[in-house]
C-alpha cells in the first residue's frame, strides 16, 4: 500500500515533540476531569438545594387530606347543610396526553369548549392547573374512564342545602374552598370546618404514588351544629311571607318567630331569597338577612312600651280616660294627628285604636331620660347578642338631644330605628311577664331567664290591650288565629327618602304574642313597600302572623285555648301612623 505522504520527508512529523508539551496536555485533561468532579460534588453534595427542590416539584408532593365539614341540623335533627364528596379535576399541562378525541370528550364533561380547555393546559405553570372544582361523582368516574395521562383528581367536598331558599338566610353558604361566607356557615366556621390533614408522597412521571415520605397527619372532621331553628316552621313562615310579598306586590319582607319560654329562634325568614347551592347572578338584596341587617322606624309598634312605662310610673291605669279630641295635637310648630278623630279613650283603647294623640299625651308626662332608659333596656340602639354576621344595632339618640317634638314622635315610632329581630325580642317583655328574654340560634332545652324590665302585673295588663287590638274594633282583626288567642300591635311607617319621607312608600308591620294568657311565641312580620292598594300593617302583615302562629303552635304541641271554629274577622280600623 502506497502512502501519499512520506513521513520521513515531513519536517513537522519528523521533528521531535518536547516532553513538557505532552505533560501539559495530560495535566490539562486531568484538571478538566478534576473540575468536572468538583462541580459534580458541589452540585450533588454541597449546594444541592436547588436541584433537590426541582426534583421535589416534579416527583414529591404534599397531598392535602380534606376534613369533612360538620353538618348543620335543625332542632329536630333534620339536615340543613351537609357535605358530599365532589372531586376536583386538575392537570400537569406538560404531561397531558394530546389525544384530540379524548380531549374533546374531557371538555364536554367539564362543560367547557375545547378551546377553553386548551387555553388552561397552556398555563405557564406546567406542573399544576385546576380544570374544574367540585364535579359530580358520576362525572369524575367518566373522566377516569377516559384514561388521559396528566389528568388527576383531588378529593373534596361540596355543601348541600336541603331546605334551599327557605333557610338560606339562616344557614348561609360556603365558598369553593369550603369556608363559610354567610349566615351560620360563617358565624360558626371554626367549629364546622375541622382541620385538614396531609400526606407527603413521591410520585413517578405518570403521577402514580410510589412511596410515602414522612408521617401522615390525619384530618379532624368538623363538629355538627344543632340550631334552634325548626325547619318546618321556617319553611311554612317563608311560604306565607313569600305569598304575602307577591300578593301585595311588595319589594321584600321578613318574619321572625321566637320561643319566649326557651329564648330560641324558631324561624328567621326573608323574601326575596336565593338557592345557597347555586348562587349565580345574585344581588345584595337577595343575600341580605333583612330581619337582622335592615333597620327602620318601627311606627306604632312601640306604643305599647310607652303605655307600659306610664303604668309602671303610676301615671295611669288601663281604664284611665284620655281626651284625644279633636284628633290632633300641636307641639311647637308641628301638628300630630290621628287617622280618625276620636273623643275620650281609655288607655286600653289608645292601644286598641292606635291613637297617636293619646300616646303622645302620656309620653309628654314623662322625662326624656325615662323613655330613653326603657328603650335602652329593650335593646334598641344596641347590637343583638346573637352571633350572626351583619346584625345591626339600630339608632337611638341620647336623650339629652331630644327636643319636645322628637320625644313626641319617638313615642309612636319615628326618630329611632330598629331591626325586626330587635322588635320581636322587645315584645318578649310582654310575653315573659316583664323580662327581656335573651335569644339564641342554638338548640336549648332550658327555660330562659331574662332581665326584669316591667312588673309581671303591668306586662299582663299590656297583653290584654294587645288582645283588644286584634279583636273587633281593633287595628288588626286579621291577626286572629283559629283555635288560639292572640294579641299584638300593628305598625305602618312611611319610608325615609332623602331628608324627608316618601308620600307613597310604606312598611307595614305586625308584632304579636300567642297564646295571650300563657304566651309561648312572639311572631314579627314586616312587609316592605306594598304597592297593590293596601299598605297598613293590619292588612299586609297581620295575615302572615295569623297563619304562622297557628302552624307553629300546632307543631309545638300547644293545645288550642279557644273554640276551634271559623272566626268572623271584622274590618280593621285604619291605624294611625
CATH number at residue 307: 3.40.710.10
Q: How far is CA 277 from CA 83, 173, 211, in A?
A: 11, 7, 38
Unique residue bearing C-alpha cell 364533561: 109
Helices (H), 265-412: 284-287, 290-293, 303-312, 347-353, 356-363, 368-377, 404-410
**Could you tell me which residues are beta bridge partners of residue 88?**
154
Exposed, middle or buried by CB within 10 Å (0-12, 13-18, 19+), for 561?
middle
- Element housing 253 (H / E): strand 252-259
Per-residue pLDDT, 118? 83
Q: What span, in angstroms and rounded, lies between the C-alpha atoms of 172 and 186?
A: 7
Per-residue pLDDT, 219? 79
Nearest one of 328, 268, 277 to 164, comparing CA atoms: 277
Residue 293 phi, psi dihedral angles, 5° rounding: -100, -20
DSSP 110: T
Is there a single domain that holds both residue 218 and residue 240?
no
Is there a single domain that holds both residue 212 and residue 265?
no
What sign does the dihedral 285-288-293-296 (CA atoms) show?
positive
Mean pLDDT for each consecutive 10-residue tract of the chain (577 residues)?
Answer: 55 67 83 85 76 66 76 96 88 81 88 85 73 86 86 85 94 88 93 80 61 72 94 97 97 97 96 86 81 94 97 96 94 90 94 95 96 96 91 94 95 95 97 95 89 96 96 93 95 86 91 96 97 94 96 95 62 63
Say if residues 518 and 500 touch (Cβ distance below 8 Å).
Answer: no
Is there a single domain that holds both residue 135 and residue 148?
yes
Say if residues 575 and 509 touch (Cβ distance below 8 Å).
Answer: no
Is there a single domain that holds both residue 110 and residue 151?
yes
C-alpha cell at 229: 331553628
Q: What span, in angstroms and rounded, lies between the C-alpha atoms of 388 and 186?
A: 8
DSSP 381: T
Alpha carbons within 13 angstroms on the beta-carbon side of residue 476 total 40
Is there a single domain that holds both residue 213 and residue 257?
no
Say if residues 351 and 489 touch (Cβ distance below 8 Å).
Answer: yes
Which residues are catalytically annotated?
A: 300
- Element housing 191 (H / E): helix 189-193
Q: What span, in angstroms and rounded, lies between the C-alpha atoms of 534 and 95?
A: 67
**Could you tell me which residues are beta bridge partners of residue 257?**
267, 523
C-alpha cell at 379: 335593646
Per-residue pLDDT, 48? 73
Q: Please state whether 8 falls in left (phi above 0), alpha (psi between -120 and 50) or beta.
A: alpha
Task: Kindly provide the b/e burial profile for residues 535-548, where b requires at least 16 CB atoms within 10 angstroms of the residue's own CB.
Answer: bbbbbbbbbbbbbb
Say if residues 289 and 420 touch (Cβ distance below 8 Å).
Answer: no
Cα dihedral angle (133, 139, 145, 147), rounded to 10 degrees? -20
Is there a single domain that holds both residue 66 and residue 174?
yes
Nearest one of 434, 437, 469 to 347, comparing CA atoms: 469
Q: What span, in angstroms and rounded, lies between the C-alpha atoms of 271 and 535?
A: 17
Q: What span, in angstroms and rounded, lies between the C-alpha atoms of 117 and 415?
A: 59
C-alpha cell at 561: 285555648
The separation between the first and the last C-alpha atoms of the chain, rounded to the nearest angstrom, is 130
In the three-class reduction of DSSP (H, G, I as helix; E, B as strand; rest coil), residue 449 is classed as coil
Supply the CATH number for residue 178's domain: 3.90.1310.10
Residue 200 lies in a domain: yes
Residue 563 lies in a domain: no
Is there a single domain that holds both residue 299 and residue 427?
yes
Is there a single domain that holds both residue 242 and residue 205?
no
Q: What span, in angstroms and rounded, lies between the C-alpha atoms of 513 and 487?
A: 5
Is there a single domain that holds both residue 222 and residue 237?
no
Q: What span, in angstroms and rounded, lies between the C-alpha atoms of 128 and 21?
A: 56
Is there a single domain that holds both residue 471 and residue 386?
yes
CA–chain centroid gap for 349, Å, is: 40
Say if residues 318 and 346 touch (Cβ distance below 8 Å).
Answer: yes
Residue 51 lies in a domain: no
Nearest one of 506, 492, 519, 508 to 543, comparing CA atoms: 508
Contacts of 491 (CB under 8 A, 6+ apart): 298, 299, 300, 301, 302, 413, 507, 508, 509, 510, 511, 537, 575
Q: What order do you get walking across the sheet with 500-514 strand by strand?
A: 264-271, 252-259, 521-528, 500-514, 487-497
**Could you tell me which residues are beta bridge partners of residue 85?**
157
Is there a single domain that holds both residue 243 and residue 201?
no
- The number of helix segments (H) and strand segments (E) in the chain equals 22, 21
Per-residue pLDDT, 30? 87
Is there a single domain that holds both residue 122 and residue 235?
no
Domain that holds residue 184: 62-226
**Could you tell me which residues are beta bridge partners of residue 199?**
63
Nearest one of 67, 30, 42, 301 to 177, comparing CA atoms: 67
Say if residues 322 and 376 touch (Cβ distance below 8 Å).
Answer: no
In the three-class reduction of DSSP (H, G, I as helix; E, B as strand; rest coil), residue 177 is classed as coil
Residue 46 lies in a domain: no
Cα 542-548-553 angle, rounded to 5 deg:
125
C-alpha cell at 364: 309628654
Per this entry, what is the length of the chain? 577
Name the domain count of the chain.
2
Residue 4 lies in a domain: no
Say if residues 160 and 277 touch (Cβ distance below 8 Å).
Answer: yes
Q: What span, in angstroms and rounded, lies between the C-alpha atoms of 305 and 323?
A: 20
Residue 549 phi, psi dihedral angles, 5° rounding: -60, -50
Q: What span, in angstroms and rounded, lies between the C-alpha atoms of 133 and 90?
A: 8
C-alpha cell at 193: 370546618
Amino acid at each position: 500500500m502506497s502512502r501519499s505522504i512520506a513521513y520521513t520527508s515531513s519536517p513537522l512529523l519528523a521533528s521531535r515533540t518536547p516532553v513538557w508539551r505532552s505533560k501539559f496536555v495530560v495535566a490539562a485533561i486531568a484538571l478538566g476531569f478534576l473540575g468536572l468532579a468538583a462541580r459534580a460534588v458541589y452540585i450533588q453534595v454541597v449546594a444541592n438545594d436547588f436541584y433537590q427542590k426541582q426534583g421535589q416539584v416534579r416527583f414529591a408532593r404534599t397531598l392535602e387530606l380534606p376534613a369533612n365539614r360538620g353538618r348543620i341540623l335543625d332542632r329536630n335533627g333534620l339536615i340543613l347543610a351537609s357535605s358530599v364528596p365532589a372531586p376536583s379535576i386538575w392537570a400537569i399541562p406538560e404531561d397531558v396526553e394530546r389525544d384530540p378525541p379524548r380531549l374533546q370528550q374531557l371538555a364536554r364533561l367539564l362543560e367547557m369548549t375545547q378551546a377553553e380547555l386548551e387555553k388552561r393546559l397552556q398555563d405557564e405553570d406546567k406542573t399544576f392547573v385546576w380544570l374544574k372544582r367540585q364535579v359530580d361523582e358520576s362525572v369524575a368516574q367518566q373522566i377516569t374512564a377516559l384514561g388521559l395521562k396528566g389528568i388527576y383528581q383531588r378529593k373534596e367536598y361540596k355543601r348541600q342545602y336541603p331546605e334551599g331558599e327557605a333557610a338560606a338566610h339562616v344557614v348561609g353558604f360556603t365558598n369553593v374552598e369550603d369556608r363559610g361566607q354567610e349566615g351560620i356557615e360563617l358565624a360558626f366556621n371554626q367549629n364546622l370546618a375541622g382541620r385538614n390533614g396531609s400526606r407527603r408522597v413521591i410520585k413517578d412521571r405518570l403521577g402514580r404514588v410510589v412511596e410515602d415520605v414522612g408521617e401522615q397527619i390525619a384530618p379532624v372532621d368538623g363538629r355538627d351544629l344543632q340550631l334552634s331553628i325548626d325547619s318546618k316552621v321556617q319553611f311554612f313562615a317563608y311560604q306565607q311571607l313569600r305569598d304575602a310579598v307577591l300578593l301585595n306586590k311588595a319589594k321584600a319582607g321578613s318574619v321572625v318567630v321566637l320561643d319566649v319560654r326557651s329564648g330560641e329562634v324558631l324561624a328567621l325568614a326573608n323574601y326575596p331569597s336565593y338557592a345557597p347551592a347555586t348562587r349565580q347572578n345574585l344581588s345584595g338584596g337577595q343575600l341580605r338577612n333583612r330581619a337582622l341587617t335592615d333597620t327602620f322606624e318601627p311606627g306604632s309598634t312601640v306604643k305599647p312600651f310607652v303605655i307600659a312605662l306610664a303604668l309602671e310610673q303610676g301615671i295611669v291605669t288601663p281604664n284611665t280616660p284620655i281626651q284625644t279630641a279633636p284628633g290632633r295635637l300641636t307641639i311647637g310648630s308641628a301638628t300630630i294627628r290621628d287617622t280618625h278623630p276620636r273623643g275620650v279613650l281609655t288607655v286600653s283603647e289608645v292601644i286598641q285604636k292606635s291613637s297617636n294623640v293619646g300616646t303622645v299625651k302620656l309620653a309628654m308626662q314623662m322625662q326624656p331620660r325615662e323613655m330613653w332608659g326603657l328603650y335602652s333596656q329593650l335593646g334598641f340602639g344596641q347590637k343583638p347578642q346573637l352571633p350572626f354576621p351583619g346584625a345591626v344595632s339600630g339608632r337611638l339618640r341620647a336623650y339629652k338631644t331630644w327636643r319636645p317634638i322628637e320625644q313626641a314622635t319617638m313615642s309612636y315610632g319615628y326618630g329611632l330605628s330598629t331591626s325586626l329581630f330587635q322588635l320581636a325580642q322587645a315584645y318578649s317583655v310582654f310575653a315573659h311577664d316583664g323580662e327581656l328574654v335573651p335569644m339564641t340560634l342554638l338548640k336549648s332545652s332550658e327555660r330562659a331567664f331574662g332581665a326584669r324590665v316591667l312588673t309581671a302585673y303591668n306586662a299582663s295588663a299590656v297583653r290584654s290591650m294587645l288582645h283588644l287590638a286584634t279583636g273587633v274594633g281593633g287595628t288588626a282583626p286579621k291577626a286572629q288565629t283559629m283555635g288560639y288567642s292572640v294579641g299584638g300591635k300593628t305598625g305602618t311607617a312611611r319610608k325615609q327618602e332623602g331628608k324627608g319621607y316618601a308620600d307613597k312608600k310604606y312598611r307595614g308591620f305586625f308584632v304579636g304574642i300567642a297564646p295571650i294568657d300563657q304566651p309561648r311565641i312572639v311572631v314579627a312580620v314586616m312587609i316592605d313597600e306594598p304597592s297593590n292598594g293596601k299598605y297598613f300593617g293590619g292588612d299586609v302583615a297581620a295575615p302572615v302572623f295569623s297563619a304562622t302562629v297557628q302552624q307553629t303552635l300546632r307543631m309545638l304541641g300547644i293545645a288550642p285555648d279557644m273554640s276551634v271554629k271559623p272566626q268572623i274577622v271584622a274590618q280593621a280600623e285604619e291605624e294611625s301612623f
